[in-house]
Amino acid sequence: MNFFELQHQARRQSKRLLLLFVLAVLAIVAAIDLVVVAAMLANADEAYAANLSSGEIIARHTGTLLLSSVAVVAVIAIASLFKIGSLRAGGGKVAQSLGGTLVSTDPGNAHYRRLRNVVEEIAIASGVPVPEIYVLEQEQGINAFAAGYTPADAAIAVTRGALDKLKRDELQGVIAHEFSHILNGDMRLNIRLMGLLFGILVIGIAGRKLLEGMRHARDSKGTVPIFLIALAVMIIGYVGVFFGRWIKAGVSRSREYLADASAVQFTRQTEGLAGALKKVGGLPAGSKIDNAEVEEVSHMLFGSGMNFSSMFATHPPLLDRIQRLDKQFKPEQFAAIAKQWSQPLDVLALDAELGLDRGLGLAPKGAPAEPPPLPPLPDMRTDLAVQPGVVSNQVGAPHQDDYATADSIQQRIPPLLLEAARAQQTADRVIYALLLDGDATIRAQQMQIVVAHAGAAAEAETRLLREAVDALHPMQRMPLAAIAFPALRRHPRPWLNAFLETIDRLIHADGQQGLFEFCLARLLAIQVIEALDPARARVIGRRKLVQCEPEAAKLFAVLAQAGHDRPVEAQRGFQAGMQMLFGQRGVTMPDGGDWHQSLVPALSTLDQLDASGKQLLIEAMVTSISHDGRITVAESELLRVACAALHCPLPPLLSR
């Protein structure tokens, strides 16, 4: 399945989850109503009951039953919404609830540097925003998870055991597994699972608290019915938890198989992921998480995190996962893995011996293994010949070539820029440096704007960073901005609003907006601002293409004019895209004079398309922009940004 089919499947899973949740709530309401009815009948006065049948007694208390039903539904709904609302801050909130430590920019921590390099490399290769990175320092088991509503607010967390026990290719396999959850639409589903199951759990907790509060009651005779009701509510609540776990297991298991398969597709090798799973099975700590909150997040972990029976297991059997990757593996081999890896081993030194420590400077003295040479970045004058269907299949599905390109992009960015982009205090300076104009007069005006927002110290830092930016390959500029996004998102909302206003002023300092400036501004708006309220974002909408024809026309007009030098060729490119979508000929191409203003609302509307509509739209975009038989690297950047606005991440280099 491709990205669009996976997103459609995730939407179906969400509907199925909601249906199962509603059925579970109705069952809980019915069970509690039965308890209330039994209490009514048991507590009915004998003289009163002698003249009335059971049905008449119940009929006279329908108001009580209705109130009971409404109260139960209200408690579950409020608890679920409260839990989901508490996670609106994004995936970092989930990581922090398990004791996660935000990975610092300290260059002395080699394990952190290796983890950050792997995460950034996969993010660049995938075309998604770089997530926040956390480490569960107290956890010795091998585990990881990705959490958040959308890729823009995602956080990836790994355990200390994963850092200490996994070689780089194994760590890459685990992180690729987690990125597949980001790309496949699993994260929002997982957040909803956490909220809905918490709502069911609250009923059991309420019954237990009521029982605890009755320990000191003096009127034992009068409290017996209440005691029985509280006991029954607690039992029913925990029976609801039983079914909640069953729902969670059913939804989660199939997604884990899919994430394993996607990780292999991403990395184009099975040894890394299989090696990590083998260590989970062979080492005593396994994938265990020693935290009271682990059950809430068990369905989003790389490994199970705790012991469940097979009925409630949120993950497929470990041996089955391994043998899907390595058919020759036998359970007896776990003992050899345990013997080898139970003793302290320096995985960083092992990486260095294998030449896998690029960028870390950890190779031992003497004769270190030479890492493979970085592939060259394409010449900006190079034209690409691409096929629309091939490009749409690239969405959310990076391959080994994309990892090689991402590695080359990342490793060739000067350390000065990387360190500044990763630090919260200087990440904004990197964006300013990317936007400084080549004209000295305009640049002076821009520096005044920077000083007004960030202070006098920012001026010298921005000028220094601009010198390094001037030496960048154009393909490195957007990834550099993406690396800065996690640090920018950590600022409070008022600062971010002021920052975006500053960016807008920098862009319009010369009275116009260039293509790169537009693309960078849109990425900032999409990835930084969306992270402030991620619950509202929708990766896949419900609109149909026929409802978005005017917006598609505006988009194709911009793409065609950017991709063709002559007006007649631009008109043909526009017609080719529109014909592919709507079968129309001779449509008048909208005026592209004020394209900055018209393209933003057009992309916002097109972002609401359903999965099949977005796939067709992307193929038509490629058809339009490549109608002259070529796509330049600059045009491919515009295409990638348009896809990012549609929540359809493209790798850095289009497949031919």
Residue count of the chain: 656
Structure tokens at 73: 């539904």
Gap between the Cα atoms of 126 and 119, Å rounded: 10
Distance between first and last Cα of the chain: 20
* Amino acid, single-letter form, for residue 209: K
Question: How far lies 246's CA from each of 306, 517, 568, in Å?
Answer: 15, 50, 61
Task: Characterize the bridge pairing of strands 383-384 and 631-632.
Answer: antiparallel
Residues facing 631 on adjacent strands: 384
Gap between the Cα atoms of 406 and 411, Å rounded: 8
Residues facing 156 on adjacent strands: 133, 146
Question: Catalytic: which of 178, 461, 635, 637?
Answer: 178
Residues facing 135 on adjacent strands: 101, 158
Q: Is 178 a residue of the active site? A: yes
Residues contacting residue 624 through CB under 8 Å, at least 6 positions apart: 556, 559, 560, 563, 573, 574, 576, 577, 578
Residues contacting residue 180 through CB under 8 Å, at least 6 positions apart: 186, 258, 259, 262, 263, 266
Nearest to 515 by CA among 633, 433, 431, 637: 637
287 in Cβ contact with 301 (< 8 Å): yes
Residues contacting residue 590 through CB under 8 Å, at least 6 positions apart: 553, 554, 557, 598
Nearest to 174 by CA among 113, 115, 225: 115
Question: How far lies 611's CA from each of 194, 531, 640, in Å?
Answer: 25, 22, 17
Task: Characterize the bridge pairing of strands 155-159 and 132-136.
Answer: parallel
Structure tokens at 548: 């978005």
161 in Cβ contact with 139 (< 8 Å): yes
Structure tokens at 639: 């295409």
Question: How far lies 457's CA from each of 431, 448, 460, in Å?
Answer: 15, 12, 6
Gap between the Cα atoms of 421 and 415, Å rounded: 10
Query: Concatenated DSSP letters for 231-277?
Result: HHHHHHHHHHHHHHHHHHHHHHHHHHHHHHHHHHHHHS-SHHHHHHH
Structure tokens at 336: 């050899």
Gap between the Cα atoms of 583 and 560, Å rounded: 17
Residues contacting residue 373 through CB under 8 Å, at least 6 positions apart: none
Residues contacting residue 644 through CB under 8 Å, at least 6 positions apart: 127, 522, 523, 526, 527, 650
Question: How far lies 265's CA from each of 252, 302, 328, in Å?
Answer: 20, 17, 20
Secondary structure of residue 145 in the 3-state scheme: strand
Which residues are part of the catalytic machinery? 178
